[in-house]
């Protein structure tokens, strides 16, 4: 019996892999990062229940990794696919980690001693990480990886400290990329998404004003494992804010940028505002929205709770501009107040921009390798939006999660299970 | 047999050894009664560490193993397996958490952290002494499924399960399949013909040999547990019994009828969205030059608290149909924020705007509009316009009320029959909002479609496939395994009072008659070993396997 290949180890990929593996189908889970977990592993809390995101995901990540029917191929990429439904031959590149995974215990000694610091993508570039690293403390597998682009030993043949310090003798500078071949019956694509960078929206000052952040940066700022250990700090003096604002649809529902609605941002901002108020009881937040989209189970009630219990004020307006007070670094938001019909100012200490979910950066390339189509928005195209919601344009290849269109965790999980059902039909494990 | 306990204390690199004195903890462990072997490992979880545990079990004839290390959350399974591989029952293993709950939280108090680690090890050893070997339980699973509800969700789930090779009983209480879809004209966002689609899917269902369609039928009673549900189905006057391994609940929802609201029962040209749908489907036209759709009638705090999710798109769909039929008609949608999320829905909304459908946003307050007055055969719809900052009136020939989907009458009965919960909103309540959205907390029972929360056709199909995947897991495997953490009932002490049945969240306890006496009985397949029954038994008739009172008391005694 042939197995199934799942591409992408975020919550959608993990769910699809577990559904298949639990019923006895062998699964290869290919993840391009050194750890599975995807974006959900980097979120602080999940909306509507305010559960700690990594705390509910980590058990699933571990379950996945230790499952007898799942082979996790982390730090790997699919580079070629041949064949057809029921019999795909897949080439996977396993990138060299320069660390022997069978010996590494994930103790972290090497990371402490490594002298090379580089911007940390797992903390939205808000702090630094080392050239030998774990993406985040709960990484699965908990094995170090050397970033060959920055390692002094690999780039300039200097240093070598990690090898000297590693008691497990796990460092291997001579490791090479490996190409392996898999034979699977079906494929599930769950590679996730990227996020819009609001740099061209100069009126909001992102990148120019120190106290303007994207929502993903905020997720890391409010997270205890993030660069500020969960404390909100404002430039220039590191004081904690008492008034913050969220601006919705920054780049989305915008025909010049992302014309779609990103589905999750309204709830994300409400959640973020709640968390800020949970951290600091006197903190007030303002959410500038176009249509507050709170359509899923218990979401509307949640938005009302935010207003009632967490000092959130919803303002129906699309701010025209933000200006920075040069001295205090406070931000002055200019918007049209619809109650009075005139332009008003609101001074806050931090602004969070709700930027949309976009197609993953490498989606086009992967789509080409897989022989599947993307749609007019750049997301992976399904055969039919209503009737075939998990089938791609190629038979035997299915899709789940945010690479198909923006969606929240619940909907990613639903689609992942749905894709698993379809993949299982082909996987030949048909009963009777 | 004499107790022979082995204790392994992990350095976890510097995670533990950096903050407390591991050698001291080891020396201390050697002094504890019945401890015959103690070892410090740099990493107990490494291949070398695991090998050491296995070798020590054999060489020193260990019959209990204690590992003092990181956390059982991530590593218990690994060490249990090491024991099992070395021939020791895995329930004779005890985990002592000296990292997450000791070294990490006392990083600046080396002395005290060392003392606490000693205490924790002493407690673990005390419990290990009283551990008993247990056996995991395997329960066979019937490879058949029951799907309750023959709407789009039920049919899709049944088809998927049949495709995967399982026999399905599809129970529908009406005389035809299709549920609400029978009344729908077009499906958004593709504007596919709903009846054509329905006809095709019904044909596919009827053709599948593995699907038994039972029309005019209702589930009368269900008992049993995952893998082994005994279901009684009444079809007209006949009643029959079937046995299934899993159950999918897909009973759908129904549109709310806005009685005594928005002059619905007074004016004949005030109708519901659902009625408009029927008119468009049957007549294909309406007679009106000005149509006003009013959103959130009865929803969002008016009669029910929630947002019904699908009504915005439904209004746009019908507004576009009307606009297409009569390009000169004025079509308004009065809303509190259009819920057109995602890629296709947003585009659908944009198209409607381009085609001339007028969207008017009002405040999120109840009611959506303030007045409906009949004037010369037309209806004046009055509301406060936030942009214009004054009251506005629109003349309408037809007013369409967008009302929410609400639970069906039989949701309560089915919830009681299956012992699965309904939420405050009346919809079925999932095991976990995020990670188990179509599972019930009770194993073997799943849900899909609008009985979970209002859902569009595409969402119903997606959830149905998901539920089919979840239900297929135990059936494909053919068995379920249960950890033997269930209660042991002392029938001489049990009074059959039923408190344990009430507190069990998994439907794993029942009262049976044995030798003329009512006593509690546990259903191992359904049991999660949570201990609620044991804790609530006032007669002390329930002992929890692996978490027995003596074991826990021994730990507590060592702690104090």
Give the model confidence (pLDDT) of A53-66 as tens digits. 988 898 899 889 98
pLDDT of residue B45: 82
d(CA B278, CA B255): 13
Of the candidates B350, B381, B405, which is a domain's last residue?
B405
Q: Which CATH superfamily is domain A3-95+177-192+360-431 in?
A: FAD/NAD(P)-binding domain (3.50.50.60)
Residue A421 to residue B466, Cβ atoms within 8 A:
yes
* Chain B residue with minimum CA distance to A391: B462
d(CA A64, CA B204): 36
* Chain A residue with minimum CA distance to B433: A410
Q: Which of B285, B274, B359, B262 is nearest to B308 (CA)?
A: B274
Q: How many domains does chain B have?
A: 4
Mean pLDDT across the stretch A287-298? 97
> Higher pLDDT residue, B48 or A405?
A405
Q: Which domain holds residue B276?
A: 257-405
Give the closest-approach CA distance of A272 to chain B in angstroms. 17
Q: Are A317 and A338 in contact (CB under 8 A)?
A: yes
Residue A431 to residue B143, Cβ atoms within 8 A:
yes
Collapsing DSSP to helix, strand or coil, B542 comes out as: strand
pLDDT of residue B60: 97
Residue B387 to residue A338, Cβ atoms within 8 A:
yes
Same domain flag for B171 and B243: yes
Domain map of chain A by residue range? 3-95+177-192+360-431, 109-165, 198-356
Residue A385 to residue B166, Cβ atoms within 8 A:
no
Same domain flag for B268 and B328: yes
pLDDT(B77) > 90: no
d(CA B24, CA B127): 21
Q: Are B98 and B117 in contact (CB under 8 A)?
A: yes
* Chain A residue with minimum CA distance to B12: A107
d(CA A287, CA A291): 11
Give the closest-approach CA distance of B523 to chain A in angstroms. 22
Q: B172: domain CATH number?
A: 3.50.50.60
Chain B positions in Cβ-Cβ contact with residue A340 (cut-off 8 Å): 389
Q: Which residues of A143-172 are buried (b: 16+ CB within 10 A; e: fewer)?
A: bbbbbbebbbbbeeeebebbbebbebebbb
Reported as a single tens digit per residue, the pLDDT across A370-397 is 999 999 999 999 999 999 999 999 999 9
Please tell me the total number of residues recorded for chain A in this structure.
432
Same domain flag for B63 and B80: yes
Mean pLDDT across the stretch B137-143? 94
Burial level of B91, CB count in 10 A (0-12/13-18/19+)?
buried
Token couple for B354: 């381009």
β-pair partners for B332: B292, B358
**Peptide bond before B215: cis, by omega within 30 degrees of 0?**
no
Residue A102 to residue B47, Cβ atoms within 8 A:
yes
Q: Are B131 and A392 in contact (CB under 8 A)?
A: no
ipTM over 0.90: yes
Same domain flag for B11 and B117: yes
B556 domain residue, yes or no = no
Same domain flag for B395 and B263: yes
Chain B interface, mutation test: which of A6, A295, A306, A408, most B Cβ atoms within 10 Å? A295
pLDDT of residue A297: 96
Same domain flag for B437 and B495: no
d(CA A133, CA B130): 43
pLDDT of residue A108: 87
For chain A, percent of residues with pLDDT exceeding 70: 99
d(CA B288, CA B317): 17
Of the candidates B362, B387, B405, which is a domain's last residue?
B405
Q: Are A422 and A398 in contact (CB under 8 A)?
A: yes
β-pair partners for B66: B7, B94
Same domain flag for B80 and B173: no
Reported as a single tens digit per residue, the pLDDT across B179-188 is 999 999 999 9
Token couple for A399: 């899709």
Chain B interface, mutation test: which of A165, A417, A422, most B Cβ atoms within 10 Å? A417
Residue A424 to residue B472, Cβ atoms within 8 A:
yes
Pick from A100-104, A281-285, B29-33, B240-244: least confident: A100-104
Reported as a single tens digit per residue, the pLDDT across B424-460 is 999 999 999 999 999 998 899 999 999 999 999 999 9
Token couple for B284: 């294909």
Q: Considering all CA atoms of chain B, what is the largest pairwise distance in Å, rounded to the nearest integer?
A: 100
Same domain flag for B175 and B102: no
d(CA B129, CA B151): 57
Q: Which of A354, A348, A408 is nearest to A218 (CA)?
A: A354
Give the closest-approach CA distance of B142 to chain A in angstroms. 12
Collapsing DSSP to helix, strand or coil, A362 comes out as: coil
Chain B positions in Cβ-Cβ contact with residue A22 (cut-off 8 Å): 473, 477
β-pair partners for B481: B138
d(CA B529, CA A292): 43
Residue B15 to residue A107, Cβ atoms within 8 A:
yes
Same domain flag for B426 and B527: no
β-pair partners for A388: A384
B106 domain residue, yes or no = yes
A281: which residues sit within 8 A by CB, 6+ positions away? none
B550 domain residue, yes or no = no
pLDDT of residue A428: 58
pLDDT of residue B69: 94
Number of inter-chain CB pairs under 8 A, A vs B: 206
Residue B463 to residue A294, Cβ atoms within 8 A:
no
Give the closest-approach CA distance of A407 to chain B in angstroms. 7
What pTM does this model have? Answer: 0.91
β-pair partners for A399: A189
Reported as a single tens digit per residue, the pLDDT across B385-428 is 998 999 999 999 999 999 999 999 999 999 999 989 999 999 99
pLDDT of residue B74: 75
* Chain A residue with minimum CA distance to B423: A298
B559 domain residue, yes or no = no
pLDDT(A247) > 50: yes
pLDDT of residue B250: 98
Half-sphere exposure of B214 (CA within 13 A, CB side): 23
Same domain flag for B17 and B119: yes
pLDDT(A361) > 70: yes
Q: Which of B442, B465, B458 is nearest to B525 (CA)?
A: B442
Q: Which of B347, B291, B282 is nearest to B318 (CA)?
A: B291
Collapsing DSSP to helix, strand or coil, A125 comes out as: coil
B560 domain residue, yes or no = no
Token couple for B510: 């029942």
pLDDT(B506) > 60: yes
pLDDT of residue A138: 83
- Of the partner residues A253, A406, A414, the one whose CB lies closest to the CB of residue B466: A414
A198-356 CATH pick, 3.30.300.90, 3.50.50.60, 3.60.10.10, 3.30.70.580: 3.50.50.60
Give the closest-approach CA distance of A320 to chain B in angstroms. 17
Q: What are phi and psi of A303, to 5 degrees?
A: -65, -35
B554 domain residue, yes or no = no
Mean pLDDT across the stretch B313-328? 97
Collapsing DSSP to helix, strand or coil, A357 comes out as: strand
β-pair partners for A73: A30
pLDDT of residue B1: 79
Same domain flag for B362 and B442: no
Q: How high is the mean pLDDT of chain A?
A: 95
Q: What are phi and psi of B313, to 5 degrees?
A: -65, -35
Mean pLDDT across the stretch B312-337? 97
B552 domain residue, yes or no = no
- Of the partner residues B13, B73, B163, the one whose CB lies closest to the CB of residue A425: B163
Give the closest-approach CA distance of B342 to chain A in angstroms. 5
- What 8-state DSSP symbol labels residue A398? E
pLDDT of residue A432: 36
B322 domain residue, yes or no = yes
* Chain A residue with minimum CA distance to B481: A22
Q: Which of B471, B415, B466, B448 is nearest to B179 (CA)?
A: B448
Pick from A206-220, B19-33, B483-497: least confident: B483-497
pLDDT(B50) > 90: no
Of the candidates B129, B157, B185, which is a domain's last residue?
B129
Q: Are A332 and A323 in contact (CB under 8 A)?
A: yes
Residue B469 to residue A421, Cβ atoms within 8 A:
yes
Same domain flag for B269 and B311: yes
Q: Are A152 and A116 in contact (CB under 8 A)?
A: yes
pLDDT of residue A431: 40
Give the closest-approach CA distance of B378 to chain A in angstroms. 30
Q: Are A418 and B466 in contact (CB under 8 A)?
A: yes
Q: Considering all CA atoms of chain A, what is the largest pairwise distance in Å, rounded to the nearest integer?
A: 75
Reported as a single tens digit per residue, the pLDDT across A409-419 is 999 999 999 99
* Chain B residue with minimum CA distance to A384: B190
Q: B35: domain CATH number?
A: 3.40.50
For chain A, percent of residues with pLDDT exceeding 90: 90
Q: Are A102 and A171 in contact (CB under 8 A)?
A: no
């Amino acid at each position: 019996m042939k197995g199934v290949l799942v591409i992408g180890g975020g919550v959608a990929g993990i769910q699809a892999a577990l559904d298949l593996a639990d019923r006895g189908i062998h699964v290869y889970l290919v993840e391009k990062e050194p750890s599975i977990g995807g974006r959900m592993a980097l979120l602080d809390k999940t909306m509507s229940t305010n559960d700690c995101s990594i705390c509910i995901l980590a058990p699933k990540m571990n379950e996945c990794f230790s499952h007898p029917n799942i082979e996790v191929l982390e730090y790997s990429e699919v580079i070629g696919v041949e064949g057809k439904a029921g019999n795909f031959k897949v080439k996977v590149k396993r990138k060299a980690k320069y660390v022997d995974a069978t010996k590494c215990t994930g103790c972290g000694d090497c990371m402490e001693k490594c002298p090379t610091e580089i911007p940390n993508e797992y903390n939205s570039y808000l702090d630094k990480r080392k050239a030998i690293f774990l993406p985040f403390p709960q990484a699965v597998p908990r094995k170090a990886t050397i970033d060959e682009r920055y390692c002094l030993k690999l780039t300039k043949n200097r240093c070598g400290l990690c090898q000297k310090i590693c008691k497990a003798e796990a460092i291997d500078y001579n490791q090479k990329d490996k190409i392996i071949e898999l034979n699977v019956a079906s494929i599930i694509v769950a590679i996730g998404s990227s996020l819009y960078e609001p740099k061209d929206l100069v009126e909001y000052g992102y990148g120019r004003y120190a106290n303007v952040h994207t929502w993903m940066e905020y997720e890391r700022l409010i997270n205890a494992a993030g660069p500020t250990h969960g404390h909100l700090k404002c430039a220039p003096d590191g004081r904690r804010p008492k008034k913050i604002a969220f601006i919705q649809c920054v780049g989305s529902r915008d025909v010049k940028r992302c014309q779609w609605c990103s589905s999750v941002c309204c709830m994300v901002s409400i959640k973020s505002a709640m968390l800020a108020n949970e951290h600091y009881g006197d903190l007030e937040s303002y959410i500038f929205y176009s249509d507050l989209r709170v359509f899923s189970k218990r979401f509307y009630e949640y938005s009302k709770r935010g207003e009632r219990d967490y000092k959130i004020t919803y303002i129906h307006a699309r701010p025209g501009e933000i200006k920075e007070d040069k001295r205090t670094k406070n931000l002055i938001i200019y918007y049209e107040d619809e109650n009075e019909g005139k332009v008003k100012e609101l001074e806050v200490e931090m602004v969070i921009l709700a930027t949309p979910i976009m197609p993953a950066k490498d989606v086009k390339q992967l789509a080409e390798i897989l022989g599947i189509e993307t749609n007019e928005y750049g997301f992976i195209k399904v055969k039919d939006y209503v009737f075939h919601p998990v089938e791609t344009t190629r038979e035997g290849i299915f899709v789940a999660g945010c690479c198909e269109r923006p969606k929240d965790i619940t909907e990613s999980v639903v689609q992942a299970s749905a894709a698993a059902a379809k993949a299982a039909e082909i996987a030949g494990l048909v009963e009777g | 047999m004499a107790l022979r306990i082995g204790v392994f204390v992990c350095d976890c690199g510097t995670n533990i050894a950096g903050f407390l004195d591991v050698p001291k903890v080891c020396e201390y462990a050697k002094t504890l009664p019945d401890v015959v072997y103690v070892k410090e490992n740099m990493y107990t979880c490494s291949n070398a560490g695991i090998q050491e545990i296995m070798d020590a079990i054999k060489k020193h004839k260990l019959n209990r193993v204690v590992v003092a290390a990181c956390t059982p959350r991530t590593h218990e399974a690994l060490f249990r397996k090491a024991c099992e591989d070395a021939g020791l029952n895995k329930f004779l293993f005890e985990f002592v958490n000296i990292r997450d709950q000791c070294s990490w939280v006392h990083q600046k108090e080396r002395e005290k952290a060392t003392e606490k680690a000693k205490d924790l090890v002493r407690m673990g050893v005390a419990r290990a002494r009283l551990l008993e070997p247990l056996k995991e339980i395997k329960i066979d699973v019937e490879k058949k499924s029951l799907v309750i509800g023959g709407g789009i969700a039920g049919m899709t789930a049944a088809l998927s399960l049949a495709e995967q090779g399982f026999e399905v009983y599809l129970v529908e209480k009406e005389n035809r399949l299709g549920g609400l879809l029978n009344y729908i004209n077009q499906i958004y966002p593709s504007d596919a013909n709903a009846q054509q689609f329905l006809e095709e899917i019904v044909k596919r269902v009827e053709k599948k040999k593995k699907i038994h369609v039972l029309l005019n039928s209702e589930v009368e009673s269900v008992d049993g547990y995952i893998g082994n549900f005994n279901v009684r189905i009444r079809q007209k006057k006949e009643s029959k019994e079937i046995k299934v391994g899993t159950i999918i609940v897909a009973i759908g929802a129904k549109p709310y009828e806005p009685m005594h609201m928005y002059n619905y029962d007074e004016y004949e040209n005030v109708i519901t969205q659902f009625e408009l749908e029927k008119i468009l489907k049957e007549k294909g036209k309406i007679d009106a030059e000005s149509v006003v759709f009013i959103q959130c009638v009865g929803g969002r705090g008016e009669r029910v608290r929630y947002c019904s999710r699908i009504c915005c798109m439904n209004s746009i769909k019908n507004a576009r149909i009307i606009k297409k039929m009569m390009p000169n008609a004025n079509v308004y949608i009065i809303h509190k924020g259009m819920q057109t999320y995602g890629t296709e829905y947003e585009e659908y909304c944009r198209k409607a705007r381009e085609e001339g459908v007028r969207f008017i946003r009002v405040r999120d307050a109840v009611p959506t509009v303030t007045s409906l007055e009949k004037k010369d055969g037309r209806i004046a719809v009055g509301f406060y316009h936030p942009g214009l900052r004054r009251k506005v009136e629109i003349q309408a020939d037809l007013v369409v009320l967008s009302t929410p989907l609400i639970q069906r009458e039989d949701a309560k009965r089915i919830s009681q029959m299956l012992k699965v919960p309904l939420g405050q909103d009346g919809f079925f309540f999932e095991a976990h909002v995020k990670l188990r959205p179509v599972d019930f907390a009770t194993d073997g029972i799943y849900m899909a479609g609008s009985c979970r929360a209002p859902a569009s056709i595409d969402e119903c199909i997606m959830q149905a496939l998901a539920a089919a995947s979840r239900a297929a897991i135990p059936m494909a495997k053919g068995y379920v395994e249960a950890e033997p953490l269930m209660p042991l009932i002392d029938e001489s002490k049990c009074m059959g009072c039923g408190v344990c049945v009430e507190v069990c969240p998994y439907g794993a306890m029942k009262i049976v008659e044995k030798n003329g006496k009512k006593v509690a009985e546990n259903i191992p397949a359904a049991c999660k070993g949570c201990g609620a029954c044991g804790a609530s038994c006032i007669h002390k008739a329930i002992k929890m396997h692996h978490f027995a009172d003596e074991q826990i008391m021994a730990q507590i005694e060592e702690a104090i």
